Structure 1
Amino acid sequence: MRKNANKWKIAFFTLSGLVLLLVITVVLLFYKHFPEVSEDHFIQQSPSMDEATFTIQTNKGRLNSLIASRIEQTPSEISYMVELQEDKVQFRSAFRVLGQEIPVTVNFLPEVVANGDLLLKVETFSLGLLSLPVEQVLQLISGWIDFADWVVTYPVDRLVEIKVTEIRVNEKDTMHFRFTRFDLEQDIIELEMIVE
């Protein structure tokens, strides 16, 4: 009977040792895989100052379609169009004088400036058969048509500035654009979209 009691004691202590070893292993694994929360866990990380930049490449045909659809969506008393041609940007419109439509055509040479905006320099213009200074034609055009806030005319300098850097897509102003290339002869137009 003593032998049976010793067997039960050995079995009991062996089983107790295995259970204790199992509990210790589970506790160690728990602490290893689930560490305690550190003090900086709930501190908000400062946002990154980096910006994401995406390059958009298009051509004259696609940009002409976009310009035409934007002009269509913008109500104006005077009809006009802007078209990218072989090597220039052309503005065409007409205005009524004494019951007759007088055509207006202005040809611009595009140039990307350092900040990514687009400058349009007047190359040629026609206003019916009248010979008017370019400054007056640009003043007339800016007086007739309500351009977007980011299209600015400088009649004295014979320039129109397309401030694509001021175009905002959303209210939070986290996305903006800039031209990197505007080559009409090669039919390559590139913009960068910057997301901050």
Structure 2
Amino acid sequence: MKQRIIGKKINIWKWLCLLILAINLAFVGVVASRIIQIREPEAENIATKTKGGIKIGTFSTTKEQLNETVVSYLEDYQKKGMTYKLYATSSQILFEGTYTLLGYEVPLYVYFQPSRLENGAVQLKVTSFSVGTLPLPEDQVLKYIKSSYDLPKFVKIQPNQSTITINVQNLDNEEGIYLKAQTINLVNDDISFDIYKKSE
């Protein structure tokens, strides 16, 4: 009878040891999770955002101001006998130049519809064009512009898609400043760009 009671007796020391071990493991787990946890999650977001560049402002312009800026910028890209203009009209962007055929210069007008791309670039989609009275395909006209005119490096002509992409986000200058198109609404004269500075 005495042996049966001893067999059922609870071993308190065993359970106390297990309880202390569980408390220690829980304590180590809490400390480890606190050490690993990011104290300021906003700082991580800021670091991620600033890898490409830091937004330093936004500027708005009108078609008239934009045209003056483009004319000034493109002065260095004009070649003798191969000059061209790119400017905004009331609702479209117009490329104006000449097409040389058999030694004769034919007036060249290409109309584009501008739009903003996700990466901040400006895409110009051909809507119509005029090469004197010549019936030329759109891709041939764009290939001619690409091969004949001196254009900035950040301008990409895609003849097969009938588009010109102006990668203003790839502007290269000593200050590390570049732009991203925000709004391009020629009809309402609402044109705005975000200004970024490249992070080091």
- Tell me if 1:147 matches 2:151: yes
Unaligned regions of 5+ residues in structure 1, if any? 1-47
The corresponding residue for 2:85 is 81
* Contact preservation (8 Å) 2:123, 2:164: yes
Distance 2:154 2:178 in 1: 12
The corresponding residue for 1:162 is 166
Q: How does 1:42-81 map to 2 (within 5 A)?
A: 49=47, 50=50, 51-77=54-80, 78-81=82-85
Distance 1:52 1:107 in 2: 32
The corresponding residue for 1:184 is 186
Distance 2:55 2:118 in 1: 19
* Contact preservation (8 Å) 2:78, 2:84: no
- Tell me if 1:117 matches 2:121: yes
Picking from 101, 123, 130, the partner of 1:126 is: 130
- Shift in Å, 1:188: 1.1
User: Which deviates more from structure 2 when the two are superposed, residues 96-105 or residues 111-120?
Assistant: 96-105
Give TM-score scaled by structure 2 length.
0.69
Deviations 1:137-187 (A, max 9, x none): 10011111021110000000000000001002226x3x2210000110010
Give the counterpart letter for 1:84 in structure 2.
A
* Contact preservation (8 Å) 2:62, 2:191: yes
Give the counterpart letter for 1:176 in structure 2.
Y
Residue identity (%): 27
Deviations 1:13-61 (A, max 9, x none): xxxxxxxxxxxxxxxxxxxxxxxxxxxxxxxxxxx84524200110100
Distance 1:74 1:141 in 2: 13
Give TM-score scaled by structure 1 length.
0.70
* Contact preservation (8 Å) 2:184, 2:191: yes
Distance 2:188 2:182 in 1: 14
Give the counterpart letter for 2:64 in structure 1.
G
- Shift in Å, 1:73: 2.6
Distance 1:85 1:159 in 2: 18
- Shift in Å, 1:128: 1.1
What is the SS of the residue equivalent to 1:156? Answer: helix
Over the residues paired in the alignment, what is the CA RMSD in angstroms?
Answer: 1.6
**4+ residue segments displaced more than 6 Å:** none
Give the counterpart letter for 2:123 in structure 1.
L
Distance 1:166 1:187 in 2: 25
